[in-house]
Chain A
Amino acid sequence: MTIPRTRYYRYTIFIVILGLVTYLALGYGARSFEAYCPFGGAESLWGLFTAGEFTCALGPLNLSLMLSLLVLVLISKKTFCGWACPIGFLSELGGRLGGLLWKKRPRVPSKTNVWLKLLRYIVLVVALLFTYKTSELVLRGYDPFYLVFSGFGHGSAGIISIAVLVVLVVGALVVPMMFCRYLCPMGAVFDPLSRLGVIKISRNETTCTNCGNCGKACVQDIPVQQLRIVRHRDCTNCLECLDACPEKDTLQLRAGL
């Protein structure tokens, strides 16, 4: 089995970021690893508007990273998720490991898939409402990023947090990218802008042989072989489909509206 070249680049960036977050989580560095979570930017907005102060442990870096990533989404869809998010990386590895464990992986029916994706908006609304109401980072107890890197630190919800993490780990082995697809509140923040992302995958219908390799390679389960331009909100421009395509220049990365 040959590993596509682009994946080497992706995984190198992922590993560097994972290493940095682990380094910070171990207590080195001037800031806590939480200061680098872009979702903290969304959580801090209410406190900034109402009191001119950051909420709980959040700081300017959370906000500036979120704004910078929103610009990135407008340029290149959810590229952060597929190239830099540590939880995205762990989810993808879980999905690949699951692929080795299952002879035939069960698939989530497409209608159910659509409904389940609404969960991330519920997570987003609940997380923001409770954070704004309590000025505490209420998501900590259920946030895999926090639970993994803090080692179930302050704010984790004991047995509930353990159960959440077990469900997410087992879920990642069954449904690829389960957390990212159904539960990630940052993904929900990115969603409306992701559809507008300028850089997208486009498929040349005349040279395409409809082999379906691109759809099979997509970690987000997007049916690339059925689309002329991949405007799908979940596309992370990870380029796995481009590498899987046997026909030269049939799938291309293009800028356009």
Chain B
Amino acid sequence: MRIPKLFIPTIVIASLFGGYFLKSAFTQPTTTIAYDQKAGAKATFIVDGVKCKGTAAFFTSLYDSVPGIIGIETFASEHKAVFTYDPDRISRDSIRTIMEAPIPFDDGTSEQIFKCLSVE
């Protein structure tokens, strides 16, 4: 069967869009931390600085001993962190303050590594 030439660019564009819209079928986190099993409120932060598994693990480690944090899922390719938290014990603003706090280094200096771009 003869195929018109324009079929080729059409199918290329269709497959790229198809791949783009298919992404929601494969949503898996880069890291998952669950401090507790109970349910809580959800907050999604877009964080500049969460860009790979290493930075995501470091990011979640900031909340290791923070009361009220139930769990954190990070999605590095989207620079996203989804918090499950107890709103009676910690607020969204406090979660944001922790991530944006300057990180101290061994040489006595400190630097802000993570910056919150938006919260949902």
Residues of A within 8 A of B (CB): 6, 9-10, 13, 30-32, 34-35, 38, 48, 52-69, 71-72, 75-76, 79-80, 83-84, 135, 199, 237, 239, 242, 252-256
Contacts and interface: CB of A to CB of B under 8 A. Distances in A.
B68 interface: no
Interface of B: 1-9, 11-13, 15-16, 18-20, 22-32, 46, 51-54, 75-79
A65 B30 contact: no
Contacts of A55: 53
Contacts of B46: 30
Contacts of B31: 53
Nearest to B22: A64
A255 B3 contact: yes
B25 A65 contact: no
Contacts of B1: 254-256
Nearest to B73: A53
A31 B78 CA distance: 5
A57 B76 contact: yes
B25 A199 contact: no
A59 B12 contact: no
A9 B12 CA distance: 12
A254 B2 contact: yes
Given A9-B9, A32-B77, A64-B23, A56 B29 contact: no
Given A13-B12, A31-B77, 5 more contacts: A53-B28, A57-B76, A76-B8, A253-B4, A255-B1
A54 B76 CA distance: 9
Query: Sorted from nearest, which 5 A-B pairs have the closest CB atoms?
Result: A59-B77, A68-B19, A65-B19, A60-B26, A64-B22
21 contacts: A9-B9, A30-B79, A31-B78, A38-B19, A53-B29, A53-B32, A55-B53, A56-B54, A59-B77, A60-B77, A61-B19, A61-B23, A64-B23, A71-B18, A75-B11, A76-B11, A79-B11, A83-B12, A237-B8, A239-B5, A253-B5
